[in-house]
Amino acid sequence: MFERYSRQVLFPGIGEEGQTLLQNKHVLVIGAGALGTGNAEILVRSGVGKITIVDRDYVEWSNLQRQQLFTEKDAENHIPKAVSARERLEAINRDVTIEAHIADVTPAEMEQFVSGVDLIMDATDNFEIRMIINDAAQKYGIPWIYGSIVASYGISYTIVPGTSPCLHCLMEGIPIGGLTCDTGGVISPVVQIVVGHQTAEALKILTENWASLRRELISFDVWENEQSTVNVDKLQKVDCPSCGKEPIHPFLSQSQTKTEVLCGRNTVQIRPASKETRDLERVAANLSKLGKVEQNSFLLQFKANHNRMVMFKDGRVLIHGTNDATEAKSLYHKFFG
């Protein structure tokens, strides 16, 4: 039964009991970029019973340098990351159930995604979604593992509700600005190290080795040969609105911005005011009268002057070629109604 996991079962920290636990656990991975694909592959190879992947984007050429599971064909065809990741992961381990969702994580959707989940892996690229993850984890008592990378710098922190300070305790609100992979770049080795820290903690949680968890926040710079750990226990706040004595989980009650500038990408994302499913065939037929349209089963692309627009089935549109939200809204209403 455990032949494919024999080397993992030999490890005293897991053993047959731990392997059985893994096969009955469900992990939610938010984001299918560098950290998401790395985390998902290790967990699938480890024999976790079910993995749910949520990502809003599609594969681009710049992803291939560091985002494992994707190929040049995925980039050429603009395949959604969640879909491509699922296909590769199913080929790696057919015994693991893989669910893929092409979606932007809103508070309402997050509360749906966490149902029946044992662990949440943070593989996102913005703090708005991380704070939503944090509040959902606190509300439903689900451990989650924070991870972040930029340039040659990485950071990881394990959050167990009721035991450790939450992300809101550590940060007063959502950080604005700062370096991102799109503005400061990123090298692949830092991805692998953060993934290693995240998945090691994940295996401890999923096999219920709670005493082995790292309680410190760890950060490092692989280029400057620096590493540090910080004990954050004293940062826990009794009046924290997310995890304190009287939590209100503020980031689950706030509406996400409908128009979002994607930092460093010269792109604006626009979401419809209400959840909907768009008929891409019909939209493509209308747009084909105005310019060139490319389409696959998941999205369509349309070019108008210097702007490239990508629509997903859920009605989200990426307006490439501008950082101006007003201009993006104008183009959205002009072409997509």
CATH number, domain with residue 283: 3.30.310
Domain boundary among 200, 231, 253: 253
Tell me how far apart the alpha carbons of residues 281 and 313 are, in angstroms, rounded to a whole number. 10
Task: Find the mean pLDDT for residues 249-277.
Answer: 79
Q: In terms of domains, do 273 and 249 share one?
A: no
- At residue 161, φ and ψ (nearest 5 deg) are -55, 135
Q: In terms of domains, do 277 and 243 share one?
A: no
Long-range contacts of 273-276 (CB under 8 A, 24+ apart): 275/314, 275/315, 276/314, 276/315
Task: Find the mean pLDDT for residues 258-269.
Answer: 82
Q: In terms of domains, do 73 and 24 share one?
A: yes
Q: In terms of domains, do 240 and 263 share one?
A: no
Q: In terms of domains, do 64 and 145 share one?
A: yes
Chain Cα centroid distance, residue 4 = 28
Cβ(152)–Cβ(221) under 8 Å? yes
Domain boundary among 253, 269, 289: 253
Domain boundary among 187, 218, 253: 253
Tell me how far apart the alpha carbons of residues 240 and 224 are, in angstroms, rounded to a whole number. 35
How many structural domains is the chain composed of?
Answer: 2
Cβ(44)–Cβ(98) under 8 Å? yes
In terms of residue numbers, what domain contains 203? 3-253
Q: In terms of domains, do 229 and 296 share one?
A: no
Beta bridge partners of 147: 156
Tell me how far apart the alpha carbons of residues 282 and 285 are, in angstroms, rounded to a whole number. 5
State the pLDDT at residue 274: 66
pLDDT in tens, 58-70: 999 999 999 999 9
Q: If DSSP codes are grouped into helix, strand and coil, which group holds residue 219?
A: strand
Q: In terms of domains, do 286 and 248 share one?
A: no
* pTM beyond 0.75, yes or no: yes
Region class of 226: left (phi > 0), else alpha (psi between -120 and 50), else beta:
beta
Region class of 231: left (phi > 0), else alpha (psi between -120 and 50), else beta:
beta
pLDDT in tens, 114-143: 999 999 999 998 888 899 999 999 999 999
Inform me whether the pLDDT recorded for 41 exceeds 60.
yes
Q: In terms of domains, do 196 and 222 share one?
A: yes
Token pair 């349209």 is at which residue? Answer: 293
Q: In terms of domains, do 219 and 247 share one?
A: yes
Inform me whether the pLDDT recorded for 288 exceeds 90.
no
Handedness of CA 9, 13, 19, 23 (dihedral sign): negative
pLDDT in tens, 157-170: 999 999 999 999 99
Tell me how far apart the alpha carbons of residues 49 and 251 are, in angstroms, rounded to a whole number. 30
Q: In terms of domains, do 64 and 176 share one?
A: yes
Tell me how far apart the alpha carbons of residues 256 and 333 are, in angstroms, rounded to a whole number. 20
- The confidence band for 47, taking pLDDT boundaries of 50, 70 and 90, is very high
